[in-house]
Amino acid sequence: MHPPPRLTLRLPSTYNSSMRLLLRCSFVLLFMSAVAVAAEAQQPSQTPPPPAAAAPPQQEQGDTKPAPQQPEENPKQAPPLKVTTGLVHLVAAVSDRRNNFITDLDQKDFRIFEDGKPQDIKFFGRQTDLPLRIGMLLDTSNSIRERLHFEKDASIDFLDSVIRRHKDQAFLMTFDNEPEVIQDFTGDVGTLTQAIEKQRAGGGTSLNDAIYAAAQKLVNAPMPDGPNPEVRRVLVVFSDGEDNLSDRALSESIEMAERCEVSIYSISTSTDWVAVTTSDRPHKMFKTPGDEILEKFAVQTGGRVFFPYKVDDLAESFQDIGAELRSQYFIAYAPSVPPDGKYRKIQVDIADRKGLTVRTRKGYFATETPGGLGPPAK
């Protein structure tokens, strides 16, 4: 056998010796680099892989099972609110023919109907002493100028009768051309009184907008300290019921109050009276269109409406409101029909006991979370 041909690198004679030496060194370096790369590829990697928890788990294509999620640790996080997702929440007050509140009823005494169909109660309890979160709405438009003094006195009397120091809180909102928060949440009746006394009348009336905005503010009310963050949300409206500037419709404002689980107590300041004066307390026989609107707000949300002739007529009524707010029942049920976005009527009856009246909201919009707090999803 002939030996393999010998490969000889020949450089032109024109290159000098220095150039030849440089080229030879370059070939040697290239050869050594190739050997080092090949050796490194054959050795196992010495860098440890990252821990499994450092990266979120991947979900393979076609796999319908959701990947588990790691809970976030937050030792300073506040206790979560008690939210019963998918349930309709009701706060009900029960009274007899003499307006005495009935507080000894049990779950078996209540019957719930949604659009005429009976519903099963999932949760039941007596809410006898919950902290109150109250929105005070004062109409400061031109239409109530003559009774603004009445509004001020009545609202101050209400706060004196209902607010308990270090437990209940209220905010003050006025409305004329637009709603405006004058005093934020506070439990100091003196601070609220000073804010009320400074108000002046003027401008148009945006009642619907004010109720819409106040209901949203009550959703974000400060919660009490302690393990139980439950509160009772109430809106007290002093107005003649007229509205000539709101962007929101009456139905939108009622819907927002229902979604936010706010009960509205309306105090009419209308001066149009047809009354029977044979008794010590005149009784209003004719309701203005504004009176009927105030009544609708109250009835639809489970509150009450009052038609006082003078401030003294309200003293006993305010005491009744305070007692009512602390003598109520909490009821939650799961609708038998899936959510469809439509309005559903609610009826609450008391079984086997005649002469009792139940006040609670009259319906709700069947969204995905009918009992949850907050504004409607856009």
The reply to whether 218 and 340 lie within a common domain is no
The reply to whether 199 and 342 lie within a common domain is no
The reply to whether 198 and 332 lie within a common domain is no
Residue 338, both tokens: 């899936």
The secondary structure of the chain, three-state, reads: CCCCCCCCCCCCCCCCHHHHHHHHHHHHHHHHHHHHHHHHHHCCCCCCCCCHHHCCCCCCCCCCCCCCCCCCCCCCCCCCCCCCCCCEEEEEEEECCCCCECCCCCHHHEEEEECCEEECEEEEEEECCCCEEEEEEEECCHHHHHHHHHHHHHHHHHHHHHCCCCCCEEEEEEECCCEEEEEEEECCHHHHHHHHHCCCCCCCCCHHHHHHHHHHHHHCCCCCCCCCCCCEEEEEEEECCCCCCCCCCHHHHHHHHHHCCCEEEEEECCCCCCEECCCCCCEECCCCHHHHHHHHHHHHHCCCEECCCCHHHHHHHHHHHHHHHCCEEEEEECCCCCCCCCEEEEEEEECCCCCCEEECCCEEECCCCCCCCCCCCC
Answer yes or no: is 66 within a domain: no
Check: pTM over 0.85? Answer yes or no.
Answer: no
Task: Give residue for tokens 């006993």.
Answer: 316
Rounded Cα distance, 285 and 169, in Å: 35
Answer yes or no: is 11 within a domain: no
Rounded Cα distance, 229 and 33, in Å: 70
Answer yes or no: is 42 within a domain: no
pLDDT at 144 over 60: yes
The reply to whether 338 and 198 lie within a common domain is no
State the burial class of residue 229 (Cβ atoms within 10 Å of its Cβ: 0-12, 13-18, 19+). middle
Q: What is the pLDDT of residue 309?
A: 79
The reply to whether 365 and 275 lie within a common domain is no
Rounded Cα distance, 136 and 282, in Å: 26
Q: Which tens digits make up the pLDDT trace of 38-47?
A: 444 444 444 3
CATH of the domain at 100: 2.60.40
Q: Which tens digits make up the pLDDT trace of 299-337?
A: 999 999 998 877 787 887 788 788 888 888 999 999 999
106 or 62: which leads in pLDDT: 106
The reply to whether 158 and 272 lie within a common domain is yes
168 or 79: which leads in pLDDT: 168
Answer yes or no: is 38 within a domain: no
90, 201, 184, 86: which is closest to 138 by C-alpha? 201
Pairing of strands 343-350, 363-365: antiparallel
Q: Which tens digits make up the pLDDT trace of 334-366?
A: 999 999 888 999 999 999 888 999 999 999 888
19 or 71: which leads in pLDDT: 19
pLDDT band at 130 (very low <50, low <70, confident <90, very high): confident
pLDDT at 102 over 50: yes
The reply to whether 348 and 369 lie within a common domain is yes
Share of residues in the chain with pLDDT > 70 (%): 71
pLDDT at 74 over 60: no
Its domain, for residue 136, covers: 131-326
Pairing of strands 232-239, 263-268: parallel
The reply to whether 294 and 333 lie within a common domain is no
Answer yes or no: is 18 within a domain: no
Rounded Cα distance, 84 and 371, in Å: 7
pLDDT band at 149 (very low <50, low <70, confident <90, very high): very high
Q: What is the pLDDT of residue 368?
A: 61
The reply to whether 265 and 335 lie within a common domain is no
44-53 average pLDDT score = 38
pLDDT winner (highest mean) among 22-31, 209-218, 272-281, 308-317: 209-218
The reply to whether 138 and 272 lie within a common domain is yes
Q: What is the pLDDT of residue 367?
A: 76
218, 326, 316, 323: which is closest to 264 by C-alpha? 218
Min mean pLDDT across 81-90, 155-164, 181-190, 321-330 is at 81-90
Q: What is the pLDDT of residue 316?
A: 75
Q: Which of 326, 345, 370 delimits the end of a domain?
A: 326
Give the chain's domain count.
2
pLDDT at 256 over 70: yes
Answer yes or no: is 31 within a domain: no
Answer yes or no: is 12 within a domain: no
Q: What is the pLDDT of residue 9?
A: 45
200-219 average pLDDT score = 97
The reply to whether 293 and 353 lie within a common domain is no
Answer yes or no: is 121 within a domain: yes
Rg of the chain, C-alpha, whole Å: 36
Rounded Cα distance, 332 and 23, in Å: 89
Min mean pLDDT across 50-54, 94-98, 142-146, 330-334 is at 50-54
Min mean pLDDT across 184-193, 203-212, 279-288, 299-308 is at 279-288
CATH of the domain at 214: 3.40.50.410
pLDDT at 60 over 80: no
Question: CB of 120 within 8 A of CB of 333?
Answer: yes
pLDDT band at 212 (very low <50, low <70, confident <90, very high): very high
The reply to whether 269 and 360 lie within a common domain is no
Question: CB of 230 within 8 A of CB of 129?
Answer: no
